[in-house]
Structure 1
Amino acid sequence: AGRRPFPVVCAADADAKETTKPKVPEKAPAAGSSFNQLLGIKGAKQEDNIWKIRLQLTKPVTWPPLVWGVLCGAAASGNFHWTAEDVAKSIVCMLMSGPCLTGYTQTINDWYDRDIDAINEPYRPIPSGAISENEVITQIWVLLLAGLGLGALLDVWVSHNKTCFGILRG
């Protein structure tokens, strides 16, 4: 028979008694900066400050595309003018879409991935215990309600006859 280009190990050849578990890193590499940690970038330095950990869960690095979406949408509408009111509406919309609702989805994603992260990335805030489960649940609700509240404010502010929340109520 021809020679194989790679070694082949059959199950019978392996020692059944010898089992090795892959080594799981106990903490993130310390090479990353605190700034990377705040942005939610993988491999960042660990933080102890609860507010920095909360910010990390919202992954600010994911916000810029949404801010650009608000700016481009406002510009494309033809209704945006550089008045204080239009700028304020845009800023409220950016807060709603970035920190509140994207932060909500990023935090809830980390919450549901906590068991997987406990194996693959045990240094992340939730599986490492850097933030308690109650604090995470509170953050999820606060971000969701803040985002919905800002959405309702914008709905009323732009004078919709029947607001989105009014439609949902029936």
Structure 2
Amino acid sequence: MAKPAPSAVVELLKPITWFAPMWAFACGVVSSGQPATGQWPVIAAGVLLAGPLVCATSQAANDWFDRHVDAINEPNRPIPSGRIPGRWGLYLAMGWTALSLVVAAVLGPWILGAALFGLVLAWIYSAPPLRLKQNGWWGNSAVALCYEGLPWFTGAAVMAAALPDRRVLLVALLYSVGAHGIMTLNDFKSMEGDRQMGLRSLPVQLGQDNAARFACFVMALPQVVVIALLTAWERLWHAGIVGLLLLGQLALMAHFLKDPRARAAWYNGTGTTLYVLGMLVSAFALRPLVQAGP
């Protein structure tokens, strides 16, 4: 049986998508308030788990179960183009799943539990019979949690070797909610194929203008709550910086909303950058709170 070229495998695993969970993992490490001294091997293993393993697994599984949709939307992708032949896409997704679980088990029970939960979400997002991605409400929620909340939790848990502080969990959850809007941005490019294959993404369900407005609202509201929480926790400088980053996003959103389908990728490269910078600022704001205790 023909084997895929290494370059096709790398393309299947989509390294560009690894940044979001790796960044969220780093935010978790920072927010734990624990010193990194002596922990660098564990941190490196956690970054590997968040991006090149768990996230890459989700990409491989998604491409395998989306091969018919990609034949319409992106026929040059490795599977529909034949550069990953036969059932190699499925075998790679299964192998990466097993490797992810092995690495997570080495890092400890909290990490193994989080990785297992994330991998289950990754598979039911793409695979029948549940195939959460058939509906944008459920599918985007699963991906947002896998990309932001779970890696943040994992980073904090790795450093604390225990369940993270409740404030860390709350802020991670809020940024996961906001990431639902970011996931909606990714759906604009595939509207035609989604319609033909019966995938009910939010741009398909709501129309591009309503979906764009909803995405902006969902991205902005959790950040308003984060600003309020940081203010209540007397982290005024951090709250102010997150507020300025949000104002920058709102200005960019106004431009995006004038032509959502054409500018979704542009906003992903500009407004989303400000969003993730706010995540890091919030993570630093949590450090003294975690160290000081309830």
TM-score w.r.t. the length of structure 2 is 0.35
**8 Å contact kept, 2:12–2:59:** yes
Alignment of 1:137 with 2:90, yes or no, is yes
Question: Is the radius of gyration larger for structure 1 or structure 2?
Answer: 1
The match for 2:59 among 92, 106, 112 is 106
Q: 1:164 to 1:65 in 2, by over 3 A?
A: closer
**Structure 2: any 5+ residue segments left out of the alignment?**
115-294
Alignment of 1:60 with 2:15, yes or no, is yes
Deviations 1:132-164 (A, max 9, x none): 1322122111111111111111016xxx7xx74
Specify which structure has the higher proportion of helix.
Answer: 2
The match for 2:43 among 67, 90, 98 is 90
**8 Å contact kept, 1:66–1:98:** yes
What is the one-letter code of the residue matched to 2:36?
H
Task: Look up the match of 1:124.
Answer: 77
Give the CA RMSD over aligned residues: 2.4
**8 Å contact kept, 1:63–1:98:** yes
**8 Å contact kept, 1:74–1:80:** no
**8 Å contact kept, 1:67–1:94:** yes
Q: Find the aligned partners of 2:104 and 2:35 in 1 and give their Cα distance.
A: 18
Alignment of 1:69 with 2:24, yes or no, is yes
What is the one-letter code of the residue matched to 1:79?
Q
Count residues with an aligned counterpart: 112
Q: 1:120 to 1:70 in 2, by over 3 A?
A: closer
**8 Å contact kept, 2:54–2:96:** yes
Deviations 1:81-107 (A, max 9, x none): 222xx1111110111110111001011
Q: Find the aligned partners of 2:33 and 2:73 in 1 and give their Cα distance.
A: 48
TM-score w.r.t. the length of structure 1 is 0.59
Question: Segments of 4+ in structure 1 off by > 6 A?
Answer: none
Q: Find the aligned partners of 1:121 and 1:79 in 2 and give their Cα distance.
A: 44
**Structure 1: any 5+ residue segments left out of the alignment?**
1-48, 166-170
Cα offset for 1:112? Answer: 1.1
Q: Find the aligned partners of 2:69 and 2:27 in 1 and give their Cα distance.
A: 37
**8 Å contact kept, 1:62–1:102:** yes
**8 Å contact kept, 1:96–1:147:** yes
Q: Find the aligned partners of 1:52 and 1:80 in 2 and give their Cα distance.
A: 38
Q: Find the aligned partners of 1:77 and 1:111 in 2 and give their Cα distance.
A: 36
Q: Find the aligned partners of 2:77 and 2:36 in 1 and give their Cα distance.
A: 43
**8 Å contact kept, 2:49–2:103:** yes
What SS does the corresponding residue of 1:133 show, helix, strand or coil?
coil
